[in-house]
Structures are given as C-alpha cells and as structure tokens.
C-alpha cells in the first residue's frame, strides 16, 4: 500500500530515512573522466563505482571484441549483465548456451563461468552489474573513443 510519499512497502516493513550524504550519479561512458580497464581483450568503462553505491554494486559498460571475453573464472559475488548488441556464447558450470541482444544474464556467486563474443560480429556492448564489497574493485586507463 502506498504511503504519503507514494512509496509502496510490504506490511510491517520500515523504510529507513533518506541519507542526504548519498549523491545522485549520472554516468556517461563518453565522459573523459570515466575509468577504463582492459580486461581479456575488451574495454570496460566503470560507470558507477562501489564507492558511489555504498559498496552495494558497480556498473560497467563492457565493449568486447569478436572472439574476446574472460576465461573460465568464478568469484564470491553475483554478476549480471545485459547484452546491448550482438551475441555471446556463455559457458556456465561447463554447459554452453547462446545469449543475444536484449538478454540479461545473472550468474550466481561462486559458479564457474566464462563467455566469448561471437566472431564475425562487431564489438559487443553490454551493461554489467557486479555486486561488490565496499570500496569497489576496478581501476584503469581511459578507453579509446568509439
């Protein structure tokens, strides 16, 4: 049921008061002040850092070249990304499957996975959300203009 501010809550659930120290973040991947990281042949632009979300998550704009993508790996946090263009082959716990533009992939913590951008397509842009610990994890160089 909506409260006086129009916010909907579960019965009995309290929403904490607004923290005025939390700032609005508006990120543009073409902003020259953005951080860029080279990962497995791709260029990852850190749009929203863990510091900007009180350590809840970070948001990364990924540009993965044909045939590019990270090798098999796993980590102790959830990972989610939405494919904006093209198609990838995703390997999750040893099983391969395709994911294409418009698809959102959510990978549970600790699960082995990898993906590869399909050859013959332009670089695959994707938005990537990492649930992270406070302080963030990624730093790097500036990305070349698209």
**24-65: pLDDT as tens digits:** 999 988 898 888 988 888 888 888 888 888 888 888 888 888
> pLDDT tier at 128 (50, 70, 90 boundaries)?
low
Would you say the pTM of this structure is higher than 0.75?
no
- Residue 137 pLDDT > 50: no
89 near 124, Cβ under 8 Å? no
Name the architecture of domain 45-130. Answer: Sandwich (2.60)
Rounded CA-CA distance 106/117 in Å is: 17
Output the average pLDDT for the chain.
78
Cα–Cα distance measured from residue 6 to residue 65, given in angstroms and rounded to the nearest whole number? 44
What is the 3-state secondary structure of 85-115?
CCEEEEEECCEEEEEECCCEEEECCCCCEEE
């Amino acid at each position: 049921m909506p409260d006086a501010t129009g916010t909907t809550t579960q019965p009995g659930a309290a929403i904490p008061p607004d923290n005025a120290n939390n700032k609005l973040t508006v990120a543009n991947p073409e902003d020259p002040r953005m951080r860029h990281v080279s990962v497995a042949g791709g260029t990852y632009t850190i749009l929203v850092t863990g510091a900007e979300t009180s350590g809840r998550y970070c948001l990364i704009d990924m540009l993965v070249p044909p045939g590019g993508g990270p090798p098999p790996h796993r980590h102790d946090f959830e990972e989610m990304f939405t494919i904006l263009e093209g198609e990838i082959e995703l390997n999750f716990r040893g099983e391969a499957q395709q994911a294409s533009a418009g698809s959102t992939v959510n990978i549970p913590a600790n699960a082995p996975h990898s993906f590869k951008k399909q050859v013959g397509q332009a670089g695959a842009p994707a938005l990537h959300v990492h649930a992270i610990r406070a302080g963030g994890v990624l730093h790097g160089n500036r990305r070349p203009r698209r």
